[in-house]
Amino acid sequence: MLEKALTGSRRYWGWIFFLLAVIGVGFIFYLRQFAYGLGITGMSRDVSWGLYIGQFTFLVGVAASAVMLVIPYYLHDFKKFGKIVILGEFLAVAAVVMCMLFIMADMGQPMRVMNLVLHPSPKSIMFWDAIVLNGYLLLNIVIGWNTLEADRKEVPPPTWLKPLIYLSIPWAISIHTVTAFLYAGLPGRPFWLSAIMAARFLASAFAAGPALLIILALIVRKLTKFDPGKEPIQALGKIVTYAIIASTFFLGLEVFTAFYSKIPGHMASFQYLYAGLDGVGKLVPMMWLSTILAVVAIILLVNPNTRKNESILAFACVAAFISLWIDKGLGLIVGGFVPNPFERVTEYWPTLPETVITIGVWAIGLLVLTVLYKVAISIREAQIESGSNTH
């Protein structure tokens, strides 16, 4: 089926080569980082994780959110998702691939990655994170590919696939829960030491992932003959609505706990992020932008009139996605490190090479996504042309 990715319009190839060029530039900067070390980034002794780990954390959520299509379709027999469930599964594949690349980019000794396997330590959450992420990648590749193959041949998917699909549901939850545990179980980082961390992660993921999927579905409709349909997009819109409300509510719970208890360590990171601390606060404008975008998105999504208007919905989804990207891709990680264990403030801001490498990894993700979507959509288009039914 992969050969379907090798034929396409000029626009398709233009996009592919554009992505390859971006990847190329990112790779050149990565080689520099590889030679020089992570000192090329904005990270320091005090803020020892930054943009890379932020992207990893955010994208695990995007990957997990495929479950928001799988559950209604397979568990509740919500037929309308039939056409786009594959888009969710392939988005998950691209997202997990990016997660792994960001981990690689963040490693001080990437050549030693096999040490994770050679000297495993089951007490380390990172060990479990590696297992669930790899498992999830495999599950989605197998499920996505086989349903698509069956679809192309217009036969029902093989029966052995069903248990895997059901397994993928708790598995999706687990990848984001385990990733939240990377942070939630650390003493001395009060910003992360919160039992609600995993719930927060899932809520924000179930908002950001489906929001991205809506945007992608609208793009697919514009550019190809395949129309994912109005109803599934609206159904996804409702999911985004509930999820972003839950996510904002959970954030509010954290703020309450910190500021009503008045325990200095619990307030400090919030103060740094939203108001600045010791006279510095590089992230303050970003965090407020995130807050405003979340509020705007919620207002537009809650109101059925605006949500039903697809252009407004698209705008609200972009707002929600950017808001959650700032919150999780940057604020959550940096906020955990500032102030440092000595109650001193060391700021962090990504450097140019770090940013270019990050964009390069996103470009790889988009490339994987484009190729997988191309295959899936070509099959849909062929069916439309031959007039056969799609599910």
Partner 1 sequence: MSISRRDFLKLAGISSLGIGFSATDLLWKNRAEAVEYMSSPKGLTAKRWAMVVDLRKFKTEEDYKRVIDACHYIHNVPDFGNLKDEVKWIWTDTFEHVFPFQKNEYLPEGVQEKKAVLFCNHCDNPPCVRVCPTQATFKRKDGIVAQDYHRCIGCRFCMAACPFGSRSFNWRDPRPFIKRLYPKFPTRTKGVVEKCNFCVERLAKGLGPKCVEVSNGGLIFGDLSDPESEVRKILSKHYSLRRKAELGTRPSVFYIIGGDEDA
Residues that bind partner 1 (CB under 8 A): 36-41, 43-46, 48-49, 103, 106-110, 112-113, 115-116, 118-121, 123-127, 130, 182-183, 186-189, 264-265, 336-337, 340-344, 346
Smaller CB separation from partner 1, 130 or 132: 130
For the beta carbon of residue 261, count every other beta carbon within 10 angstroms: 10
Taking alpha carbons only, the member of 298, 280, 293, 286 closest to residue 333 is: 286
Smaller CB separation from partner 1, 31 or 289: 31
For the beta carbon of residue 111, count every other beta carbon within 10 angstroms: 8
Smaller CB separation from partner 1, 43 or 99: 43
Min. distance of Cβ 112 from partner 1 in angstroms? 5
Min. distance of Cβ 128 from partner 1 in angstroms? 9
Smaller CB separation from partner 1, 127 or 288: 127
Smaller CB separation from partner 1, 8 or 265: 265
Min. distance of Cβ 113 from partner 1 in angstroms? 7
For residues 203 and 307, give the distance between their C-alpha atoms in angstroms, rounded to a whole number. Answer: 19
Min. distance of Cβ 289 from partner 1 in angstroms? 26
Phi and psi at 107, nearest 5°, equal: -80, 135
Min. distance of Cβ 182 from partner 1 in angstroms? 7
Smaller CB separation from partner 1, 48 or 306: 48
Smaller CB separation from partner 1, 47 or 369: 47
Smaller CB separation from partner 1, 109 or 159: 109
Min. distance of Cβ 265 from partner 1 in angstroms? 7
Min. distance of Cβ 324 from partner 1 in angstroms? 22
Smaller CB separation from partner 1, 34 or 78: 34
Min. distance of Cβ 55 from partner 1 in angstroms? 15
SS (H, E, C) the chain: CHHHHHCCCHHHHHHHHHHHHHHHHHHHHHHHHHHHCHHHCCCCCCCCCCHHHHHHHHHHHHHHCCHHHHHHHHHCCCHHHHHCHHHHHHHHHHHHHHHHHHHHHHCCCHHHCCHHHHCCCCCCHHHHHHHHHHHHHHHHHHHHHHHHHHHHHCCCCCCCHHHHHHHHHHHHHHHHHHHHHHHHCCCCCCCCCCCCHHHHHHHHHHHHHHHHHHHHHHHHHHHCCCCCCHHHHHHHHHHHHHHHHHHHHHHHHHHHHHHHHCCHHHHHHHHHHHCCECCECCCHHHHHHHHHHHHHHHHHHHCHHHHHCHHHHHHHHHHHHHHHHHHHHHHHHHHHHCCCCCCCCCCCCCCHHHHHHHHHHHHHHHHHHHHHHHHHHHHHHHHHHHCCCCC
Beta bridge pairs of residue 19: none
Question: Contact, 331 vs 323, CB < 8 A?
Answer: no
Min. distance of Cβ 344 from partner 1 in angstroms? 7
For residues 182 and 103, give the distance between their C-alpha atoms in angstroms, rounded to a whole number. Answer: 13
Amino acid in the structure at residue 293: L
Smaller CB separation from partner 1, 82 or 265: 265
Min. distance of Cβ 99 from partner 1 in angstroms? 14
